[in-house]
Amino acid sequence: MHIAVVGAGLVGAGWTIVFARAGEMVRLFDASKDARDNILNDVRGRLEDLKSFDLVDDIDPILDRIVVCETLSSAVEGARYVQESVPERVPLKQEISKQLSGLLSGDTVVGSSTSGIPASAFTENLPNRARFLVAHPVNPPYLVPVVEVAPAPWTDPDAVEIAMSVMTEVGQSPIRVRREIEGFILNRLQGVLLREAWALFEEGYASAEDIDKTVKEGLGLRWSFMGPFETIDLNAPGGIREYAEVLGPLYHSIDASRTDPRPWHDALIGKAEAERRDAVPAAALEERRNWRDRRLMALAAHKKQQTE
Ligand SMILES: NC(=O)c1ccc[n+]([C@@H]2O[C@H](COP(=O)([O-])OP(=O)(O)OC[C@H]3O[C@@H](n4cnc5c(N)ncnc54)[C@H](O)[C@@H]3O)[C@@H](O)[C@H]2O)c1
């Protein structure tokens, strides 16, 4: 049985690579004819980049597993799993979920790529709402493996298990979000760091460049292979308990100093933007994104060689 990809923009194209690279037959549908016409070329280009870093072997067999469909029904009928990646708007998510609901067999699970809309906001009135959940990737999913699997209150636990195992089988690293929460896990963690980064920048404690440097030359080096709990467990001779006893009061005091959530206001954004555009002019942003993806590929290639 195949996997269906619905919506083949930036993220849907990435998912297509994830599934086809893992040996799955993929049937995809996009409402835009342009997108349907261009997707295979787009995927080929990305696969060529991956090949240059030894992250895939032969490209043609991967492309041969991808079928671009002219209708939604021909993509999803008979699928064992559907990954939906239409734009991030509640009415669109509701409409596509309703259409999918009418086309799917009883066991098929639908994972939405939504970055922040809980599954309960677009599945409540579906007869088979128990088969729908969120499977939120990071872009591009074929280079960044984590996927947040987040059920609605009515999602069948068996559907969660199926989504977790599909993701594992295709080489992703799924995490289970046990109940719905705004921003899921990843963006909540990122949000805490951004909140403090903006505040330190606004209050003039450091430049944007130096705040970025603190992450890329400091915290971030460990973060590609361990998370915050393991980090602190290893950072005190007696492990996490000793770390918490010695440094807990410092972190508590830092937390207590930030009690006023503030919006990212225009003047502040302008100040950060000016610093960023000095570092990378607007016209060079696309090249810089390509540079980021090549760095990610080099890191993925390095991680692939590690035994644990
Ligand atoms: N861009 C990111 O970095 C990122 C990361 C993680 C998750 N997401 C999520 O992934 C989803 C897709 O985002 P994207 O950046 O790929 O958007 P996108 O605009 O690049 O692609 C969306 C695609 O869906 C197609 N589409 C629209 N309506 C459709 C329909 N009814 N049926 C089939 N196809 C339809 C569009 O033609 C388009 O090709 C969103 O929910 C977004 O929040 C995005």
**List of the chain residues with pLDDT < 50:** none
CA 287 to centroid of ligand 1, rounded, Å: 22
166, 38: one domain:
yes
- Residue 106 is predicted with a pLDDT of 80
118, 259: one domain:
no
- Residue 262 is predicted with a pLDDT of 87
- Residue 94 is predicted with a pLDDT of 97
pLDDT in tens, 115-129: 999 999 999 999 999
pLDDT in tens, 100-159: 999 998 899 999 999 999 999 999 999 999 999 999 999 999 999 999 999 999 999 999
Q: Is 85 in the pocket of ligand 1 (CB under 6 A)?
A: yes
Q: Is 83 in the pocket of ligand 1 (CB under 6 A)?
A: no
CA 114 to centroid of ligand 1, rounded, Å: 8
192, 170: one domain:
no
116, 166: one domain:
yes
214, 85: one domain:
no
* Contact criterion met (CB below 8 Å) for 120 and 41: no
CATH number for 275: 1.10.1040.10
Question: Does the residue 181 lie in any domain?
Answer: no
Q: Is 8 in the pocket of ligand 1 (CB under 6 A)?
A: yes
**Boundary residue ending a domain (144, 176, 208):** 176
**Boundary residue ending a domain (112, 147, 176):** 176
**Boundary residue ending a domain (176, 202, 226):** 176
- Residue 23 is predicted with a pLDDT of 96
164, 267: one domain:
no
Q: Which residues of 186-219 are buried (b: 16+ CB within 10 A; e: fewer)?
A: bbeeeeeeeeebbebbeeeeeebeebbeeeeeee
- Residue 101 is predicted with a pLDDT of 94
- Residue 40 is predicted with a pLDDT of 96
**Total domains in the fold of the chain:** 2
CATH number for 8: 3.40.50.720
Distance of CA 171 to the CA centre of its chain: 14
Residue 110: which domain range? 3-176
CA 13 to centroid of ligand 1, rounded, Å: 9
Question: Does the residue 234 lie in any domain?
Answer: yes
Question: Does the residue 32 lie in any domain?
Answer: yes
- Residue 16 is predicted with a pLDDT of 98
170, 266: one domain:
no
86, 168: one domain:
yes
16, 87: one domain:
yes
